[in-house]
Structure 1
Amino acid sequence: MRQDDGDRPGAERAEGGAPDTGGAAGDGSEDGFRRSAAHLIDEALGFLFPAALRAAADIGVADHLADGPRAPAELAAATGTDADGLHRVLRLLATRGVVREDDRGRFALTETGQALRGDVPYSARTAVLMLTDRTMWRPAGELTRCLTDGTSAFEALFGMPFFDHFAQDERTAAVFHVGMAAMSDPENALIAAAYDFPKAGTVVDVAGGHGGLLLEVLRRNPGLDGVLFDRAHVLAGHRLGAAPEVAGRWTTAEGDFFEAVPPGDVHVLKRITHDWDDDRCVTFLGHCRRALRPDGRVLVVDAVVPAGNAPHQSKALDLMMMASLAGRERTEEDFAELFRRAGLRLSRVLPTPTVLSVVEAVAA
C-alpha cells in the first residue's frame, strides 16, 4: 500500500529523508494533522516490505529470474508456491525497485535486486534471511518491553540469551553465522583497503567468524600473519583454507574473548562491540589491551552513530541490538569512554566506503 512519493499527501522530504513538516509543531491545521496521520499510517505498514523480501529470499525466486522476466505462474511452478500469492509479494517488491513488472504482467529482477540471487558474488540472500529471522523479528515487535523493563526482549521470548540460542545446534547457528558472513562479505575488501596496516606482525581477528575480513587483510598485506580467534563451532566454517594465496600465514585459535585473547600486533573486532553492553565490552577490550605487543593497536570496526536527524543504518541497527541483544550502536564519544575504561586511548576514527568506520585505539 506504499504509494509513490509524488502521490502521497505530505510527501515532500527534507534533506534527512523525513517528511518536511515546516517546523517542529507543523501548522496546527486540520489538513496538517490529516497529512500527519496519512504519513504515520503509511510508515506503520512499512514492516510488510521486509516480510515480502524475506518470503522472496526464502523461496529463492530471484534465482529463477536470472535469465529474464517470467510470469508469476511460471515462477510459482518453479518455486512450488501459490501463483496469486507470489504475484502479490512481487508487486510490493516492485514498489521498492527490487523487481519490475512489465505490461505483460511478467516480473524482472532489477539491478537493485540482483543480490537477492543466491548464485552471485556478494549475495545478500542469507543476510536477508538472518535479519528477518524470527529471532530478530519477534523481539523487534516487543520494543515497548525494552522501554518499560530496560532489558532485551529476547530472553523472555526464547528462554535464553541471544548467543546461547544460536549456539544450541548447527542449523540454528548457521542462520546467524552464514547470514553475518553474507552481510560482511561486501564490506571486507573495502575495510581492509581503508586502513594502513603495519608491514609485518600478527593480526588477531577477535570473534572473526568465518574469517572474511582477515582473509582480505592478509591478501592486501603479504608481510602479515593472522590468527582467527572464535568459538570452535564457528571456526568449523572458516574459509581461510580455501585461499591458497595466504597459505602458511594464518592459524586458528579457539577460545572465549571474555576470558583471554591471543597476543598480536593488531587486534581487530568487526561488528562485535555493538553486541554487548559497556561492562562486557570493557572486559574483552581489556583482554585485547593486555595481549597487545608494544606499539600495537586495537581496531574496532563498527558503525559510529552520527549526530543529527539524517538517516544512518546505525540508528536502525541500534534498535535491533536493544531488542535482541544486550548491546548498542555507539557514538565516537561512547567509544572513547569504553577505551578509557579498558586502558586504551582512542587515537582516530577512519571512515570507510561502507557504513562502518575503523575506530583505532592504542595503549593509554
Structure 2
Amino acid sequence: MDMPDHGSAAEVSPHQALLRMITGSWVAQAIYVAAKLQIADLLRDGPQAPTALAATTGAHPRALYRVLRALASVGIFSEDEQGRFSLTPLAEPLRSDVPGSVRAFSIMQGSEWAWRSWGEIMHSVRTEKPAFEHVFGMPLFDYYAANPEAGRVGAEGLTSRSEPENAHVVSAYDFSRVGTVVDVGGGQGTLLASILTANPKTRGILFEKPHVIAMAQPIFEGAGLNERCELVAGDFFASVPAGADVYLLKKVIHDWDDEEARSILSRCRAALPDGGLLLLIELVIPPGNEPSFGKLLDLHMLVSPGGRERTQAEYRDLLASAGFALGRVIPTASPVSIVEAVPA
C-alpha cells in the first residue's frame, strides 16, 4: 500500500491527505497502546531503548519498537541513532503528571467499548440510534453503571479532556456574586471545584449518579472544599436539588436527543427560583463549512450516547421548549462556550 510521507501541509496532495484521514484510527490505537503502557511516563527522565521499555511494561520488544517507530513518524516520540526513544512536544501530554494530560482520554477512546461503537456507525446513520446500544444491548451510561472498570475509565477520560477547559470557563464568567451553584451531571466535579476555589464565598452542590459521586469525593477533599460543597446522588430525569442561584450543566445536554434533553432542562426549570440562571457549557456548532471539533464530536454523540451537538439556533429552540429564554452565548479561550439562559 502506497502511503504518503509526512511532509509539510503544502506538500501533501489531496490523495495523500485523504489516505491519512482514512488510516487515522491506526494512529489512535497506537497512541492508546503508548498511553496504556505509560511510555511517556517512563521516558520522563530521558531516552530509553525499546528493550528496556518492553521489560518494564511486559510488551514484546520488537512489537513495541514498531509501535514507537510508527508514532515517531507522526511526531509522537523521537528515535535517536542508538535506537532509543525520547519525548517530543506531542508526546508530553501523554504523561500522567502534567497539566492538560490526555493520557486518560486516549485510553478511554482506545477501549473496546468505544471503538466498537464506531465500527457500527452505519447502524446509526441508517436509524439515528446509538450504535453503542446496538452493539452492547444497553445505553452507554447503563453500561458504565453495570461495568465499574469501564465507568472509571470513562469518568477519568472525560475529566482529563474537560480539565483544561475549566480555567477558561472560570475566567470567562463572573461567579463571584453567586450564592450556590448546582453542577448537574458534573462528573468528578473538577469544574465545580475550580469555580469554588476561585470564588471563596460561593457554595456548591455536585449532583451525579452514586457511582460517580464516590469518585468525586477525593477531589473535593483534596481541594479542601468539603465545607462548601455538598455531594448529592440522584437522577436528573427525576429531579434536581431546588433553590440554587445557578444551575450548571457541562457537556450534559449534548449526551441526549431533544426529547431527553428537554426533560433534563425541564427539571432544572422546575428547581430554579425567580432570578436564577441556567448555564450550559457546550461546543456550539458554527455555520457553514467552518472547521469545528464539535462537528466531529457530534458524530461521536450519534454513535455512542445517542446525543448531538447543536447550533445557537437549536439551543434557543430547545431552551424555549423547556421554559427558558436564551440570553448570551459567551465564548471562552477553549472550544466550549457558555450558553446562558433565564426563565421565560
- Length-normalised TM-score, structure 2: 0.94
> Deviation of residue 88 (structure 1)?
1.4
The answer to whether the 8 Å contact 1:136/1:320 transfers is no
Which deviates more, 185-194 or 340-349?
185-194
2:23 is paired with a residue of what secondary structure? helix
Does 2:244 correspond to 1:262? Answer: no
The answer to whether the 8 Å contact 2:166/2:190 transfers is yes
Q: Work out the CA distance in 1 between the residues paired with 2:7 and 2:206.
A: 47
1:174 is paired with a residue of what secondary structure? helix
Instruction: From the superposition, tell whether residues 251 and 7 of structure 1 become closer, same or farther in structure 2 (CA, over 3 Å).
Output: closer
Match of 2:179 in 1: 201
> Deviation of residue 311 (structure 1)?
2.8
> Deviation of residue 7 (structure 1)?
9.0
Q: 1:174 aligns with which of 139, 146, 152?
A: 152
Deviations 1:276-297 (A, max 9, x none): 0011111111111121122111
Q: Work out the CA distance in 1 between the residues paired with 2:338 and 2:81.
A: 47
Does 2:55 correspond to 1:77? Answer: yes
Q: Work out the CA distance in 2 between the residues paired with 1:62 and 1:76.
A: 13
Q: Work out the CA distance in 2 between the residues paired with 1:316 and 1:96.
A: 21
> Deviation of residue 185 (structure 1)?
1.6
Match of 1:230 in 2: 208
> Deviation of residue 39 (structure 1)?
4.2
**Identity between Structure 1 and Structure 2 (%):** 42
Shift >6 Å, 4+ stretches: none
Q: 1:86 aligns with which of 64, 82, 100?
A: 64
The residue type equivalent to 1:191 in the other structure is V
> Deviation of residue 8 (structure 1)?
9.0
Match of 2:325 in 1: 345
Instruction: From the superposition, tell whether residues 321 and 248 of structure 1 become closer, same or farther in structure 2 (CA, over 3 Å).
Output: same
Match of 2:198 in 1: 220
Q: Work out the CA distance in 2 between the residues paired with 1:132 and 1:318.
A: 18
Which deviates more, 89-98 or 263-272?
89-98
Q: Work out the CA distance in 1 between the residues paired with 2:192 and 2:183.
A: 6
Instruction: From the superposition, tell whether residues 302 and 180 of structure 1 become closer, same or farther in structure 2 (CA, over 3 Å).
Output: same
The answer to whether the 8 Å contact 1:265/1:293 transfers is yes
> Deviation of residue 169 (structure 1)?
3.2
> Deviation of residue 308 (structure 1)?
3.0
Match of 1:30 in 2: none
Q: 2:167 aligns with which of 189, 196, 205?
A: 189
Deviations 1:40-88 (A, max 9, x none): 3342112100010001111111111001111222211221111211111
The answer to whether the 8 Å contact 1:276/1:328 transfers is yes
Q: 2:253 aligns with which of 254, 269, 273?
A: 273
Q: Work out the CA distance in 2 between the residues paired with 1:204 and 1:7.
A: 45
2:276 is paired with a residue of what secondary structure? strand
The answer to whether the 8 Å contact 2:159/2:188 transfers is yes
The residue type equivalent to 1:87 in the other structure is Y
The residue type equivalent to 2:206 in the other structure is L
Consecutive unaligned residues of structure 2, counting only runs of 5 or more, are none
Deviations 1:81-110 (A, max 9, x none): 112111111122123322112233221111
Q: Work out the CA distance in 2 between the residues paired with 1:283 and 1:112.
A: 41
Match of 1:332 in 2: 312
Match of 2:113 in 1: 135
1:294 is paired with a residue of what secondary structure? coil
2:115 is paired with a residue of what secondary structure? helix
2:104 is paired with a residue of what secondary structure? helix
Does 2:334 correspond to 1:357? Answer: no
- Length-normalised TM-score, structure 1: 0.89
Q: 2:81 aligns with which of 100, 103, 108?
A: 103
Instruction: From the superposition, tell whether residues 156 and 247 of structure 1 become closer, same or farther in structure 2 (CA, over 3 Å).
Output: closer
Greater CA radius of gyration, 1 or 2? 1
2:203 is paired with a residue of what secondary structure? strand
Q: Work out the CA distance in 1 between the residues paired with 2:4 and 2:279.
A: 41
Which deviates more, 129-138 or 157-166?
129-138
Q: How does 1:26-65 map to 2 (within 5 A)?
A: 36=15, 38-65=16-43
Quote the RMSD (CA, aligned, Å).
Answer: 1.7
